[in-house]
A and B are shown apart, each in its own frame.
Chain A
Amino acid sequence: MDNDQDEVFTTRGLTRLYRMGEVTIRALQGVDLALYRGELAVMLGASGSGKSTLLNILGGLDSPSDGEVHYRDRAGQDHDLTRATQRQLTRFRRHHVGFVFQFYNLISSLTARENVAIVTDISRDPMPPEAALALVGLAERLDHFPSQLSGGEQQRVAIARAVAKQPDVLLCDEPTGALDFRTGIRVLEVLEQVNRETGTTVAIITHNEVIGEMADRIIRLRDGRVDEIHANARRRPPGELRW
């Protein structure tokens, strides 16, 4: 891994407070972290550890209450996400980030192909939706609506949707959380394949320890802080994982 210098994301003292009903939640409390270009990082933590919040802030879906977060694109240009306007964040998400959500978040009125197309429509250099779906093994199900697909298939559509725009980074929030073991492995294989074949930086958050074994680095979060960072000597292929 030649990721020594090329940081995609850097955060410093990242803090995020939420008001949920009548209580204030301290989701992040000063996170210092770097993600490197081309790596596959897995962020582990129990629910409430702040991993989703961190991912949302990295992806420009949310803004920190305090601290800094920077993104550096392939051209080496630095983007300060901390001070970005909503408009700039939108542009950032549009051109640089692909998302995969736990609950797929497909648009139910659109077919698999159209769900991908809705992203490629607004991208600069996308792959054809059909190619993206072929990549995740759904070449045969292009014209099915979400309601006609299984959970795993829906998640793979969501991945195709995320990779079709050829993003710099792929941010995945519990991508296997709603899936059974076999389907979950299939989804992880797709993510690993995308990382390997396209060099896209992939960050996966999960509470499943086993998934950490397929990563270049494991980042453990606890109570809104980085607890430990561990670099794997060898990435295990997802097919060898068991849970």
Chain B
Amino acid sequence: MLTLDRKLHRDLWRLKGQALAIAVVIAGGVMTLILAVTTLEALTGSRDRFYASHHFAEVFADAKRAPAGLMPRLQAIEGVKRIEPRVRAAVRLAVPGFDDPVRGLLVSIPDGRQPTLNRLKLLAGALPEAGRDDQVVVSDAFAEAHDLAPGDPLEAIIDGRQTRLRLSGIALSPEHLYQAAPSDLMPDYRRYAVLWMNERALANAYDMEGAFNSLSLTLQAGARREDVIDALDLALARYGGTGAQTRHDQQSHRFLEEELAQQRLMATVLPAIFLSVSAFLLNVVMGRIIQTQREQLAVLKAFGYHDVELARHYALLAGAIVLAGWVLGVTLGAWAASGMASLYREYFRFPEMVFRVPAWALALSLGVVLLAALTGTWQAVWRAVSRPPAEAMRPPAPARFRKSWLERALPAALLGHEGRIILRNLARHPARAGLSVAGIALSCGLLMVGAYQLDAVEAMLDQQYRNVLRMDVELTFVDATPARAVGELRHQPGVMAVEPWRRVPATLVHGHREVRTSLLGLEPMPQLRQLLDAEGHARRLPEAGLTLTRHLAGELDARIGDTLEVAIMEGRRRRVRLPLVALVDEPLGTGAYLRRERLNALMGEGPAISGAWLLVDPGRMDELNAALWAMPGVAAIGLLADAERGIRDYLDETLLMVALIFVTVAGSIAFGVVYNDARIAFAERARELATLQVLGYTRAEVSRILLGEIALLTLVAIPLGWAIGIAFARLLNQAFSSDLYRIPLVFTPQAFGIAAGGVLGASLLVGLLVVRRLGRLDRIRVLKAVE
């Protein structure tokens, strides 16, 4: 086979331009898979490792105040492996040199040593010394954001008293990998901190000696989670227990899960789209390249080469190209994944990112592209060898040309010779023209998806921060507070409007579905936090009954008119039944709303509020901050502008980065497809084009035929590509709707423009390359010889 193999090398070299273009198409598909899967594995693997090595608990429970003497009883619950009580408290902090309010969470650890569960990974310094009441370990993200080091001081308002703390160390905790404040969607490391303190000191400050208000536990193998939770709830009920929860509802874990679920989808939907598109194109292109070698195949067959030998030869040709593309794709994918992973490290504070390309992804991607290439090759080789070689060697029978309906419809003068040739060429091979159009349209669709992501995220954030959340500041009180506090807030400096709200944790049950969320009690026509209907108009809260975000209703499988069971997890922990009366459309979160006075009535309380939203004169923000800082009843001060910046930064860095990668990949695929199309058309037409030049046509005129064909195919493909892009976006949109956010289905002119511009640009580039090639065409040789 020596000489045949040499031919293989030479052919590969001769086809290098096309081979490279095909390799780019393959690389695009492979890269998306490797990128998504590797990032996912890195995140999941790093998380699981950290969870295991630092004994992340499996069940968590909070109470108002439970005596330490309860512990033996809790330990005895069947299925409990290890259990550990602690004290947790909200705290307000001040960092020297930083004016904004900072929220914190204080968590107790056994005096001078590591907790049994949720152990800390110390990155610097040490745990507080036993007996010290002023030392704290702070979360590393916060320390990093403020450039804090062990020994630095920190001001805190602990239970209304200003206290001076000192950093003993900086640590990571499996319980707070994702460090967002309780009501925030995104972490804000400058304004939210987790601090660990000696148990005795913390209990002392919060009047919790001999008591605890939080516990976490791990389960024995085979233990029934629900039974343990029921027993815990029963035991803690009289101590103000708010309901035990599994990891599933633990904030950090839940956000991580959401994000990983998105990643998992990304790792399925997008690579599936990209890889199948590139596999399809690969199949078509390989087939057409073999087609151009028809005569050579026939000659080799005439010499007595077996079909199998020829199939092997072309399979090797295809395999070499595929392998090159695959290696390129894997390399780029791994490179991009390492970039993505270090980006994610900013948000998920893993102590180490374990980074590895999974073997199955390598095998899967190689398998898919090889299969696509080999079936394409095999079909073409089979077509060529299945006919007697004499027939294959003969120039193909004059094709049946017809005047197409389009040509008949257009006046002859308008078309000219070139137009006629273009139209008839396309009409002669409608299937081939169709495949070319499909290829270009698919890459146009991919571009559209990339562009859509950019637009949709912007639209989503605009909706949330312009139309839903219209306040400047969100205040949260330490405890439910009488509504007359509103009057006091109204007189604070810079405050232009105040709107109170009441929030109560609750579990919504419908049939066998259950969602843990919170009920938000609002004014009848909320202004600072609007409720939007499907058309985006602000709406009134119905007199009675529950209003849910459409996504939450979907999760519960509930329709308007259905009755939901609501288990309130605060105060007297009542269970009530409420009708679902309205749906609102919000892109972020899973809210459940009702009128505040109704919620107060359900709680059996007077007009109480959990917090308030403020509209503030921007010029007097600092003044207001200072005033609020002095109010001990305020547990947290949230600035909306910061929250918006946080989420925008996050999405800019992650989602938009991904979108950008996809736009680039889609653009490269578009180029690969158009280039191969043009090169193959060129090879098929070389004789015809040479004839025309010999007959006296100028190079420009002949170029027009070739370019006209590319242009026509591209123009036909663009609207089709838009349609494909919209369909892909729909698919993506459905797949990506999560508790965290729902991307709206919006298409801006830019998205259409990017999609069309991408393929037009690719076509133009290809056109230039082909015209250059036309200049080098050896007319005489092409006319004389049948190669």
A residues contacting B by CB (< 8 A) are 19-22, 53, 56, 59, 61-63, 86-87, 90-95, 97, 99, 101, 103-110, 114, 117-119, 121-122, 147, 151, 161, 178
Contacts and interface: CB of A to CB of B under 8 A. Distances in A.
Contacts of A94: 303-306
A62 B301 contact: no
Contacts of A103: 785-786
Main SS class of interface, B: helix
Contacts of A20: 397-398
A110 B10 contact: yes
Given A22-B400, A105-B299, A118 B307 contact: no
B323 to A, nearest CB: 20
A77 B460 CA distance: 83
Contacts of B391: 62
Given A56-B390, A114-B3, A121-B2, A109 B11 contact: yes
Contacts of A105: 295, 299, 302, 393, 786-787
Interface residues of B, number: 35
A183 B4 CA distance: 30
A97 B296 CA distance: 18
Given A105-B786, A110-B7, A147-B781, A118 B300 contact: yes
B388 interface: yes
A91 B306 CA distance: 8
Nearest to A151: B784
Given A56-B390, A107-B299, A117 B10 contact: no
Contacts of B10: 109-110
Nearest to B391: A62
Given A56-B388, A107-B299, A122-B303, 8 more contacts: A21-B398, A22-B400, A62-B388, A62-B389, A108-B787, A109-B11, A121-B3, A161-B303
A114 B9 CA distance: 13
Nearest to A106: B787
Contact of B3 (A93, A108, A117): A117
Interface of B: 1-4, 6-7, 10-11, 14, 295-296, 299-307, 309, 388-391, 393, 397-400, 781, 784-787
A90 B305 contact: yes
A232 to B, nearest CB: 29
Given A101-B393, A107-B7, A117-B3, A61 B303 contact: no
A20 B396 CA distance: 9
A207 to B, nearest CB: 17
Most chain B CB neighbours (cut-off 10 Å) among A63, A114, A151: A114
A118 B1 CA distance: 8
Given A61-B388, A110-B3, A110-B7, A91 B296 contact: no
13 contacts: A20-B398, A21-B399, A61-B389, A92-B304, A104-B785, A105-B299, A107-B7, A107-B296, A109-B7, A109-B14, A114-B3, A119-B303, A151-B784
B786 A61 contact: no
Contacts of B300: 107, 118
B786 to A, nearest CB: 5
B369 to A, nearest CB: 25
Contacts of B11: 109
Nearest to A53: B390
Nearest to A118: B3
Nearest to A167: B304
Nearest to A117: B3
A92 B306 CA distance: 11
Nearest to A55: B390
Closest 5 CB pairs of A and B: A94-B304, A109-B10, A61-B390, A56-B390, A62-B390
B398 to A, nearest CB: 6
Given A105-B786, A118-B3, A91 B390 contact: no
Contact of B4 (A87, A99, A104, A118): A118
A122 B7 contact: no
Contacts of B399: 21
A93 B299 contact: no
A118 B390 contact: no
A113 to B, nearest CB: 9
